[in-house]
A and B are shown apart, each in its own frame.
Chain A
Amino acid sequence: MSAAPDPHPTPASRPDRAVLSLKGVKKHFPIREGAFQRVTGWVRAVDGVSFDIRPGETVGLVGESGCGKSTLGRCVSGLTDVTAGGVYFDLPAEASRLLDNIASGTATDAEKARVAQIEAAHRIDRLQGAGYKRFRRNCQMVFQDSFASLNPRHLVVDIVGRSLRVYKEASGTELTERVVELLEQVGMGRQHLYRYPHQFSGGQRQRISIARALATNPDVIILDEPTSALDVSVQAQILNLLSDLQKQHNLAYLFITHDLSVVRHMADRLVVMYLGKVSEAGVTSDVFDAPHHPYTRALMEAKPDIEGAASEQAQGLDGVVPDPARPPRGCRFHTRCHMATPSCGWEVDDVIRRLEDIPGLFDALSGVERKSDFAASLTFGDAAAAERLVSILDSDGIPAAMRSAMGRLERRDRTVSVAFDEVPDVDLRITEPGRVASCVLSPIEVFQGVNE
């Protein structure tokens, strides 16, 4: 639609690059307490996430509330600083490999010397001057709440034309014409120029947000739940629009959503997050066909479907998402997993997570001595209470996998000593070419649903 030649050559013409590359991104928020606001802990909202977004593709980021997907979106767009790791813009494949080598500790001295240079040129929080401007123009964002993301006192022409003004690309009549052109691209028109956001419906406001994002002619747009507040018929309009625009402008999208049908429709590749970490990633259709992580499987089974057999019984998950300030060891999902094995990282805190709702069980507890995350002694006021805990831990009161993982369970008078087998944290591993999952089980085992 835009007749003007693109003044900014996009990385699209160089497919050996990632528009955005996330390398071990962490975002921890401090928990402050007391009168002096001392930091007493950290909420690990995002805890080491890596993936690339390539030119022209859509990466879907799914997960339930509190999994850190929105925080990650803000980190990627540069709205929030990262705690560790880095987000890189327009990163050549060769530089990406070099950074991976550094992270895995296999880098040569020559490579180490180049890191500073690469970071200055690509890492979004190190970019300066023209480099930063280029990133800012090329990475745009559309928010979920179209009402809150449009300044209520600005007219559409000001909202959409703002970046043209910021980058001194147009003014006066020319600016108006450019805005009209942008509005036409999103299915609106000249008649909407001089209106306030509150005069539009939710779908129209989201179109205005998209037009604003298009104004800088970006390479990538981060879409944070862009259709979650919309009705299904309007959602369809917006999703169609986003697909059309992607084809026209070779846009890359990071599509953040909790809606699996939408992400299956929109995303080329899928990243599933749980409690700040990636539990699985791969080509969307492959992931939907055969999830390699029990969490992904649970998500997909819980999703009500418009097609297929109507009487499918959805399973859902028990329990709550654990506290992200103290995430479970091993695999973070093991506390709710239907397929948990003894090697999933059972730890002493799981005793509490599992049993704290049993009335009176811990009333007589007088002391806790934690030796490690995997071993502790609990001292009770009387031997009977200690025996009660032992008997529950030794029965069906806890999952069989958890019981098998218990290396030691003994009572000495009023003290119960529990020790679990120490296992390393479960990292992402390649399960298939182009697929990663962080599960100790093989894809076949996840598919068969063992241990239920």
Chain B
Amino acid sequence: MVDLPSPTQPGTIDAIAPESARRVRLRRFKELAAKVLSNPATVLGFVIIFAMLFMAIFAPWLVAPNVPDPYQMPRDWAATRMPPGTPGHPLGTTNEGGDVFYGVVWGTRMSLQLSLIVVFSTVVIGSIIGSLAAYFGGKVDEFLMRVVDVFLSIPELIFALAIAAILGPSFGNIMFALIVVFWVKYARIMRARVIQIKGSEYIDAARIIGDSNINIYLRDILPNSFTPVMVQATLDMGNVVLIAATLSFIGLGQAGIAEWGVLVSEGQAGIASGRWWASTFPGLMIFLWALAFNLVGDGLRDALDPRTEGR
């Protein structure tokens, strides 16, 4: 038969090395990771995220947890309105004697919890609804997409605000409100992607082989649709915290919890009288959090661009 030259680096050691599927996939992952990390802004984003994760995981070792509820701000009524650098309160205290450092550290944990729960739930809900719409098409699609349109026609913040306001101020309600607001994006992205993939020839090829619909969905459609969802999820990890903080700030958060938005809100009254620290440090954390996920999200989007991916 006709001899076919090796398409990858002929004559190099790679061409003759025994391969395995695992090794090839690992190499592909490494190549992709290298591509993502070739952008300094993305690396900066990752560094910030890892620092935040560290803070969230090791919170009990950084500051002793409050008893009985570690997510409640401890109150040191003996030391209210202390500036940063005060012994025992490295970032100062609030009007009510809350330790700003405690709020910053444990607030990271809360934000991580919040964003993970919200993003995970919205991705799952959105992907399922989007896939169903794309898969069934016709009336089902029409109905689901009109529902999505209704949700999208209300500005995110106002919608979340309305829901949280109706349900009453609590951290759980903010999470719920955010889930209600954010799933629609994923439904839309997923639907568009699934419709596109569904029409591609390799799906036809899988049907010709006789593979089952569920297998085709899991092996062909889902893996090829997931890239844009992942990018959006990364960006939303930041957005969610930003909106949650806004809601807390305008008083829909649970008073007294170690959450950045609540802290900013508590500290804002003092800014006029020169006590800048109670708002600034948690505010900075919100900024860094949102920035980091946006940097990483953008980096992923560039690196995983379906137009260049796999070429």
Interface on A for B, CB 8 Å cutoff? 74, 77-79, 133, 136-137, 139-141, 143, 145, 148-155, 157-158, 162-163, 166-167, 187-188, 191-196, 198-201, 204, 209, 212-213, 215-216, 237
Contact = CB atoms under 8 A, between A and B. Distances in A.
Q: Which 3 A-B pairs have the closest CB atoms?
A: A136-B210, A187-B1, A194-B19
Residue of B7, B201, B206, B215 contacting most chain A CB atoms (<10 Å):
B201
B115 to A, nearest CB: 28
A180 to B, nearest CB: 12
B66 interface: no
A153 B2 contact: no
A147 to B, nearest CB: 9
30 contacts: A136-B208, A139-B208, A141-B208, A148-B200, A148-B202, A149-B201, A149-B202, A151-B219, A151-B224, A152-B309, A155-B24, A155-B25, A162-B206, A162-B209, A163-B209, A163-B210, A166-B212, A166-B215, A167-B210, A187-B4, A191-B6, A194-B24, A196-B24, A198-B311, A199-B8, A201-B7, A204-B7, A212-B205, A216-B209, A237-B2
Interface majority SS (helix, strand, loop, mixed), chain B: helix
A79 B19 contact: no
Given A151-B224, A191-B15, A143 B24 contact: no
A133 B210 contact: yes
A166 B202 contact: no
Contacts of A79: 204, 207-208
A187 B2 CA distance: 6
Contacts of A166: 209-212, 215
B311 to A, nearest CB: 6
Interface string B17-50: 0011101110010000000000000000000000
A95 B19 CA distance: 52
A173 to B, nearest CB: 11
B21 to A, nearest CB: 6
Contacts of B211: 162-163, 166
B220 interface: yes
A160 to B, nearest CB: 10
Given A79-B208, A152-B224, A212-B209, A196 B310 contact: yes
A329 to B, nearest CB: 34
A150 B208 CA distance: 13
Nearest to A237: B2
Given A77-B208, A79-B208, A198-B310, A155 B202 contact: no
Interface string B185-207: 00000000000000011101111
Given A136-B208, A196-B28, 9 more contacts: A136-B210, A148-B202, A149-B202, A149-B205, A166-B209, A191-B16, A198-B310, A212-B205, A215-B209
Interface residue tally of chain B, by bracket?
A: 35 or more
B223 interface: yes
B209 A155 contact: no
A195 B2 contact: no
Given A133-B210, A193-B19, A149 B204 contact: yes
B304 to A, nearest CB: 12
B88 to A, nearest CB: 55
B10 to A, nearest CB: 11
A199 B209 CA distance: 23
Nearest to A204: B4
Contacts of B207: 79
A92 B238 CA distance: 66
A259 B97 CA distance: 85
B163 to A, nearest CB: 32
Nearest to B3: A187
A213 B210 CA distance: 11
A136 to B, nearest CB: 4
A199 B14 CA distance: 14
Nearest to A244: B1
B208 A195 contact: no
A153 B209 contact: no
A137 B201 contact: no
Nearest to A185: B1
